[in-house]
Chain A
Amino acid sequence: MTTTDRHERAVRELLQIVESVYDQIDLGDIPQMELALRSKKNIEFDVRKNVWTYGDQTAHRTAKTIKGATLMLRTLHMVDFIRDMIDNKHSSTLREMYYISEGWGNGKFHSQDESNLLAEDLEIISRCMREDFKLRPEEDGARVMGDLTLIETDRKGKRKTINCRDDVGDSGYSIPFNVEKEKVEMKSAGADFVIAIETGGMFDRLVENTFDEKSNALLVHLKGQPARSTRRFMKRLNEEMGLPVVVFTDGDPWSFRIFASIAYGAIKTAHISDYLATPSAEYVGITSSDILNYDLPADKLSDQDVAALKSELNDPRFNDEFWRSEIEAMLQMGKKAEQQALAKYGLDFVTDTYLPEKLSQMGILL
């Protein structure tokens, strides 16, 4: 399917929503829209695709309530706006759309979260991607460092071959918001595996210690919760280049969710899990047992931490032996630790001792 085809299909799908609203009013009914229930109660494991996606439960958004009616009006405006952009060959960021909504009367957005959520709703209803709507996120790309060669088509249409270690500075290659084939082509990889790192501090430590060269690793900085493009980029490395992916984060409930969104798919974007998730990704640490085994400096769990852990215990994505024992162990000891706590044993400890030990246990390093 060409880019133009994809855009045309998106407009067709979106206009169907508008038509359905119009017809319902014309028949004298209360207009409503149906979409998948976006809750952890409604995610199921898709055996075929090996990821978690939305189940069959749906939610009705009706014009009966002020919230439902407002969302419906907003949806109409947004569809109109998308159609306009596609007609005029423009694109805009989600943030720009948030400001454009000032002119949408009662349908205007009150926060940017609302515009993000609605864009995802439209993806679900129309079974298109937000990129098809010419909407892009407002995010600077995460960084990559290591022996990977790719060809990026720049904004003027020129194809540039880039090696993510030799052709970039110490801050690495920056992942663009569009990582599809027409933009980024994977050429060759000298690295043996991908290590995704939660914090910038740890990414820079591994770069400074030349972990990419010593262990033949491709370092990817997640910047907290990874953006869609970062997850898609890793999925392509895994699928197209055959590189295993491991995830290295802090040892706390929020980091567990970062891993889940990479490996199993995020609840919010479960409709495109098969496009974003890397089911074979593995968790390196920091684990609860790391905190004990390495005697890491740890902080007390806050009330929110405890609540998050408990909520994870009934999240279907964490319903396996490894995660249950990890979560229960953390609740029991009441402690969490940062990646950088490893510096207790010196700046080289993480690259000389911790990662080699953990990665060879996992069979990644020999």
Chain B
Amino acid sequence: MHSDDGKNPKAAAQKGKRSIANDMAGKQQEISVTEFFEKNKHILGFDSRSKALLMGIKEAVDNSLDACEEAGVLPDISVSVERTDEEEEFRIVIEDNGPGIVHHMMPNVFGRLLFGSRFHAQRQSRGQQGIGISATVMYGNITTGKPAKIMSKVEEEETAWSMDITIDTKKNRPDVRNDQPFIWPEKEHGTRIEYYIRGRYVKGKQSVFEYLKNTAIVNPHAQLVYSDPEGKTYVFERATTRLPPKAKEVKPHIQGLEIGDMMRLARDSKQKTLKNFLKNDFSRISDRVANEILQLSQLNGDMRLSSLNRENVRDLVHAVSSVKIMAPPTDCLSPIGEDLIKKGLKHVLEGNRPEYYAPPVTRAPRVANGNPFVIEAGIVYGGELHSEGQVTILRFANRVPLLYQQGACAITKAVESIDWRKYGLEQRGGKGIPYGPAIIMIHIASTKVPFTSEGKEAVANLEEIGKEVALALRLCARSLKSHLNKKERKKKTRAKFDVVQQILPEIAEKSASMLGRPVPSLDSTITKIMNVVWIEPSSMMEKKGLRTVRYNIYNYTTSPKSFMLHSVLPKSCLNETIISDVLVEVTEEGKTTWKMEDLPPSACFELEFQLDGELSDVFGESDVFVSGLNPTMIMGAEPLPGDWGIKGMEISESENLPEEEEDEMEEEVLNDDD
């Protein structure tokens, strides 16, 4: 337990300005932290019966996921919610396959508020304050009078341990009963918590199901099993076996810190002098940078840290803003990554058959209030997504879904600030949440996500964050717009295809039969009408992880055509089916090139191969490009962009592709007759 209050008389004198959380952590307070929370449950998010039920589960699942990742284990988590005989009472069980908790630590982890190693760690994790799970235990105790039952087994220990825990709210101390070892058959390691809670079970947007579903989207490496009070069981299967890279601890970055933050850090520091404090307690501060800051703020580096006053700190903060300092190291962050976001979205939403997944965007890390953060965004569009009303906004912070206070969240505000009409969504007056069949997903990963309250429900409205969210969304939105444009063009080319494939043959047959003559050949006419090379992509899922991709390439021109076809294939999914006479090369990054040589007029070439593996469903078959042929001669594929294959390229739409003359016949008929 962290507590170094009182060591420093100056800091103690400024207690009134310090954050609530710190305040409450003070041992010298007459009212205990636990007692305070009991009276102010809403601060933790336990402010309504339905919310209380969800929050408890959320805290437990967040902890389980964190623990599994820390231990390098693919998470297997089950959640069960059951009604008991008592009114509004539920029995909740959450079990994981995490590393387990050492026996003597179990009471502290589940029975003391503010216990946890993460309180000061600068590292991305789900549970950031360490308040959550014990608050759940406490809330359960208070509302039902029943203890929580905790079971845990550490790998390679002979026995597991089980105990009942209640919290003594006066002393912030766990009260442990029935502490005993037991044999947990077939459990190598893991933790199980069982508690009772008075709550209300709801369905819809803020339900346990929704929370777990959204959790599955951003944690494609986890398997989640949910048994609901109606006795139904839902399994969110693992979509990948790739664990997210482990987040490292880092020191805070000095830029963006407020005066109060800096004062707290100075007070808690083990350094003796100001210069050492700057050099050793912050990241990216070299001797040279420290001197520059000191010079600008006109402070002496040898000054004792304990004598630093508010005015000094103010000057320091001021000086820092005009010094060029390297961005914080970003290996402390673990963004989900573009591939896995798409994977997660696809995995969970495929039932709705969305028409389009905009390539997700992971922005470069930025700094807000001294903490590095990364914004990731994705947009899913169309298909059977509900098209009535506003789009769905899925907000995530450090891989945790945010289900409450959407309106107060910086993410929502950033969504509202964009003129979505430019990108093909409806929006009243170009402001506010857009309308239509879309899901907008935003993830913020940070060593310290700035929430508006301890309930961790809404991201505080910091300028840097809002800006990054908007930038990420614009990138996705541009892809969406380009998809919609492509779809529109496709519709037009499809119309032309219908002409030559259906209507023209009917015209030929009908005229022939009316005149009693043989049906004429259409080849030459069709070629003249189309005068393009037509590429028709299609794909079929054979079974899980196996997909057949096919390109039908028609030469609807009057001469033989030679050209190259390009696509970026997921390298890990390639197999021998890719090998063919027309294959030219497959590069390290999966850039694949085929060559068509002298494809005769009116001929069709079928290019087919299979993708085998986890990422096979991430490939979009319509992202195919052609080179070596005048772009106006191609339909169904884009001309190869100049920056082909450069990571993060945005394929710009060439809007000036020749429009089809849809109607050459002017037929303006005034409606003035019978």
A interface residues (Cβ-Cβ under 8 A, vs B) = 15, 18-19, 21-22, 24-26, 28-31, 37-41, 59-70, 72-73, 76-77, 79-80, 83, 105-107, 116-117, 137, 139, 225-228, 257-258, 260-261, 266-269
B668 — which chain A residues lie within 8 A by C-beta?
Answer: 38-41
A25 touches B515 (CB 8 A): no
Q: B502-529 toward A: CB 8 Å interface, digit per residue (1/0)?
A: 1110111011101101001111110011
B673 touches A266 (CB 8 A): yes
B interface residues (Cβ-Cβ under 8 A, vs A) = 495-496, 498-499, 502-504, 506-508, 510-512, 514-515, 517, 520-525, 528-529, 660-670, 672-674
B665 — which chain A residues lie within 8 A by C-beta?
Answer: 59-62, 67-68
In the complex, which of the residues A26, A64, A70, A137 contacts B674, with contact meaning CB atoms closer than 8 Å?
A137
A60 touches B667 (CB 8 A): no
In the complex, which of the residues A105, A116, A117 contacts B506, with contact meaning CB atoms closer than 8 Å?
A105
B511 touches A261 (CB 8 A): no
A257 — which chain B residues lie within 8 A by C-beta?
Answer: 670, 672
Give the docked Cα–Cα distance between A139 and B674 (Å). 9
Give the docked Cα–Cα distance between A116 and B666 (Å). 17
**Listed residue (B506, B665, B667, B669) with the most chain A CB atoms within 10 angstroms of its CB:** B665
Knowing A29-B525, A39-B669, A267-B670, say if A107 contacts B514 (CB, 8 Å): no
Q: Report the nearest B residue to A260, measured CB to CB.
A: B672
Residue contacts A-B, CB under 8 angstroms, 28 given: A15-B514, A15-B515, A18-B511, A18-B514, A24-B525, A28-B523, A28-B525, A37-B666, A38-B669, A39-B668, A59-B666, A63-B525, A64-B529, A64-B664, A65-B495, A69-B503, A76-B511, A80-B510, A80-B514, A106-B502, A225-B672, A228-B674, A257-B672, A258-B672, A267-B669, A268-B669, A268-B673, A269-B673
B528 — which chain A residues lie within 8 A by C-beta?
Answer: 28-30
Given contacts A63-B507, A66-B498, A73-B507, 13 further A-B contacts (CB under 8 A): A19-B515, A28-B524, A59-B664, A61-B665, A64-B664, A65-B661, A72-B507, A80-B514, A106-B502, A107-B503, A139-B674, A261-B672, A269-B673
Q: Report the nearest B residue to A28, measured CB to CB.
A: B524
A269 — which chain B residues lie within 8 A by C-beta?
Answer: 673
Give me the 6 closest cross-chain CB pairs, A-B, nearest first: A28-B524, A22-B511, A266-B673, A268-B673, A39-B668, A69-B503
Give the docked Cα–Cα distance between A234 and B553 (Å). 63
User: B503 to nearest A CB, angstroms?
Assistant: 4
B507 — which chain A residues lie within 8 A by C-beta?
Answer: 21, 25, 31, 63, 69, 72-73, 76
User: B525 to nearest A CB, angstroms?
Assistant: 5
User: A313 to nearest B CB, angstroms?
Assistant: 14
User: A301 to nearest B CB, angstroms?
Assistant: 18
User: B255 to nearest A CB, angstroms?
Assistant: 59
In the complex, which of the residues A31, A60, A80 contacts B525, with contact meaning CB atoms closer than 8 Å?
A31
User: A333 to nearest B CB, angstroms?
Assistant: 23
Give the docked Cα–Cα distance between A145 and B495 (Å). 54
A76 — which chain B residues lie within 8 A by C-beta?
Answer: 507, 510-511, 514
**Listed residue (B508, B511, B524, B670) with the most chain A CB atoms within 10 angstroms of its CB:** B511
A67 — which chain B residues lie within 8 A by C-beta?
Answer: 662-663, 665
B672 touches A73 (CB 8 A): no
A22 touches B512 (CB 8 A): yes
Knowing A25-B525, A26-B520, say if A69 contacts B674 (CB, 8 Å): no
B496 — which chain A residues lie within 8 A by C-beta?
Answer: 66
**Listed residue (B503, B660, B664) with the most chain A CB atoms within 10 angstroms of its CB:** B503
Q: Report the nearest A residue to B524, measured CB to CB.
A: A28
Q: Report the nearest B residue to A265, measured CB to CB.
A: B673
Give the docked Cα–Cα distance between A60 and B511 (Å). 19
Give the docked Cα–Cα distance between A257 and B667 (Å). 19
Knowing A21-B511, A22-B511, say if A106 contacts B503 (CB, 8 Å): yes
User: B29 to nearest A CB, angstroms?
Assistant: 73
Knowing A15-B514, A25-B511, A29-B525, say if A60 contacts B664 (CB, 8 Å): yes
A41 — which chain B residues lie within 8 A by C-beta?
Answer: 668
User: A287 to nearest B CB, angstroms?
Assistant: 19
A70 touches B503 (CB 8 A): yes
